[in-house]
């Protein structure tokens, strides 16, 4: 089984104004085609994502919800 490199950070929220995922910076088209892309195409997109996210001036990401289980681990 081949593992596909991905910039996904499990924060899959699209910003309607920018047309980008606020977690990884990809467009819906890029996300949809990701598995079918050649490794070089994926790498080229990943290389521009930091600059793309910085230029998009997206709102800050929401803080993850704290669950009781997480609080228990933090106390330990």
Q: How far apart are CA 41 and CA 14, in angstroms?
A: 22
Q: What is the pTM of this model?
A: 0.74
For the chain, how big is the Rg over CA atoms in Å? 15
pLDDT in tens, 15-40: 999 999 999 999 999 999 999 999 99
Please list the residues that pair with 14 across neighbouring strands.
21
Q: Give domain limits for the chain.
A: 14-75
Q: Which pLDDT score is estimated for 15?
A: 93
């Amino acid at each position: 089984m081949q593992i596909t490199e991905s910039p996904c950070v499990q924060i899959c929220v699209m910003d309607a104004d920018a047309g980008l995922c606020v977690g990884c910076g990809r467009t819906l088209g890029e996300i949809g085609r990701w598995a079918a892309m050649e490794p070089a195409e994926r790498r080229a997109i990943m290389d521009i994502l930091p600059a793309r996210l910085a230029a998009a001036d997206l709102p800050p990401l929401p803080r993850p919800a704290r669950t009781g289980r997480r609080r228990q681990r933090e106390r330990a």
